[in-house]
Amino acid sequence: MKFILSRLGFYLLAFVTAVTINFFLPRMMPGDPIKSFLGRLAMNGGQITPETISALEALYGYSTSTPLWQQFFQYLGSVLAGDWGMSTRFFQPVFEVLGRGMLWTLLLVGTYLIVSYTLTTLLGIYVAWKRGTWTDSVITVGSVVVSSIPSVVMALVMYFIFASNLGWFPTSYAYHPSLDPAFSGEFIGSVAYHLVLPLLCMVALGMGNVMGMRSNMINQLGEDFIVMGWAKGVRDRKVMLHYGARNAILPMITSFAMSVGAIFGGSLIIEIIFNYPGLGQVMFQAMLARDYPLIQGYLLIMTMMVLGANFIADCLLFVLDPRLRTQLD
């Protein structure tokens, strides 16, 4: 319990730091969103009046005349209150815009994490156990080759072959547009059907984890307690799972936590290519439109996701590794 609280405190601190950076970083960059907006407005021949400027300042929630520190505390207060400003692209509160995409991204990334980590961990355990055989070579080399394909290429190729040409999978959306969101078999089936291809693509790209798990497992299999397991007459299967794999998954959990940020980033491209209405789509449009409040909001969400994943990993390790437990509690 003490451990969990201390970790929570640490992540809270990390979050505040991230928010601070999130606030100051754009302000240290040359130019500001209002000027950029006014510039575009002027280019398109729009009228710029003091009212326009004050309207924009109200929209972005800050004015160049308030001192920076005051802006910062305003920002901090509104972040905690869930008021993340207005999206200049969608003309809706950032929180709502992100909330919509968030659901689908969480679904995609969540299922990816579960499927990919289960699959690669099991494969890693298996090939490490069978190391030196043909199965090992084929799976190991195959997973390295597949995972080293750039994500854009992989996604485009899959899209053109399976969605566009063969028509096995839908080319866009997260569920069939004719359906209304409902807790029905039909709707859930449609969601799952639309999820398959982007998920498959991400799982393929994540196959590199097989190598990580394989080498963890091989390291563990060289340990003395494995030999002792055999010497005790314990069955192979039990030695493999309870002695080898049980120890080999520990570093995998850490690597999982560290890769969550990259996974969210990677899902952006996949979502854009597969027209999946997650955060990726939203961000793509936000970036094109220089929608600063939305981009900042996205950064905040990413920060929370990464910190959240790390917290979950910490708790998992805490449960799975008794050495950590005594050390910290």
Answer yes or no whether residue 96 interacts with other proteins by CB under 8 A: no
Q: Shortest approach of other proteins to residue 299 CB, angstroms?
A: 37
Exactly one of 223, 258, 262, 265 binds other proteins (CB under 8 A); that residue is: 223
232 binds other proteins (CB under 8 A): yes
CA distances from 123 to 110, 139, 214, 223, 296 (A): 20, 8, 8, 20, 39
Site membership for other proteins, residue 67 (CB under 8 A): no
Binding of other proteins at residue 182 (CB under 8 A)?
A: no
* Binding residues among 107-146 for other proteins as defined by CB under 8 A: 132
Ramachandran angles phi, psi of 93, nearest 5°: -60, 140
In the chain, alpha helices (H):
2-28, 33-43, 50-60, 68-81, 94-129, 134-147, 151-158, 185-205, 209-221, 224-231, 236-238, 246-273, 279-288, 292-320, 322-328
Query: Is residue 227 near other proteins by the rule CB under 8 A?
Result: yes
Residue 86 pairs with which residues in a beta bridge?
A: 93
Site string for other proteins, 152-171 (x = CB under 8 A): --------------------
8-state DSSP, 179: S
Judged on CB neighbours under 10 Å (0-12, 13-18, 19+), 141 is exposed
Selected range binding other proteins among 89-97, 103-111, 144-152, 318-326, rule: CB under 8 A: 318-326
Tokens 């072959």 sit at which residue? 161
Q: Does 321 bind other proteins (CB under 8 A)?
A: yes
Q: Of 109-117, 226-234, 264-272, 278-286, which part binds other proteins (CB under 8 A)?
A: 226-234
Tell me which of 101, 229, 266, 277 binds other proteins, using CB under 8 A.
Answer: 229
Q: Does 224 bind other proteins (CB under 8 A)?
A: yes
Q: Closest approach of Cβ 243 to other proteins, in Å? A: 5
235 binding other proteins? (CB under 8 A): yes
Window of 153-161, 203-211, 243-251, 255-263 that interacts with other proteins by CB under 8 A: 243-251
The whole-angstrom distance between residue 1's C-alpha and the CA centroid of its chain comes to 28
Between 96 and 236, CB nearer to other proteins: 236
Which residue type sits at 79?
A: V
- Contact status, residue 183 vs residue 190, Cβ threshold 8 Å: no
Q: Which residues contact 15 (CB under 8 A, 6 or more apart)?
A: 303, 304, 307
Nearer CB in complex with other proteins: 185/322 = 322
Q: Which is nearer to other proteins, 47 or 326 (CB)?
A: 326
Contacting other proteins (CB under 8 A), which of 63, 189, 238, 265? Answer: 238
Sign, Cα dihedral of 149, 150, 151, 152: negative
Between the CA of residue 125 and those of 231, 235, 248, 295, what are the distances in Å? 21, 16, 8, 40
Given the structure tokens 């053109």, which residue do they identify?
160
Site string for other proteins, 246-265 (x = CB under 8 A): xx--x---------------
Q: What is the size of the binding site for other proteins (CB under 8 A)?
A: 24
Q: Which stretch binds other proteins (CB under 8 A): 54-62, 208-216, 303-311, 314-322?
A: 314-322
Long-range CB pairs of 69-72, under 8 A, 24+ apart, other chains included: 71/23, 72/20, 72/23, 72/24
The distance of Cα 263 from the centroid of its chain, to the nearest Å, equals 4
- Where does this chain bind other proteins (CB under 8 A)? 132, 223-225, 227-235, 238, 242-243, 246-247, 250, 320-323, 326
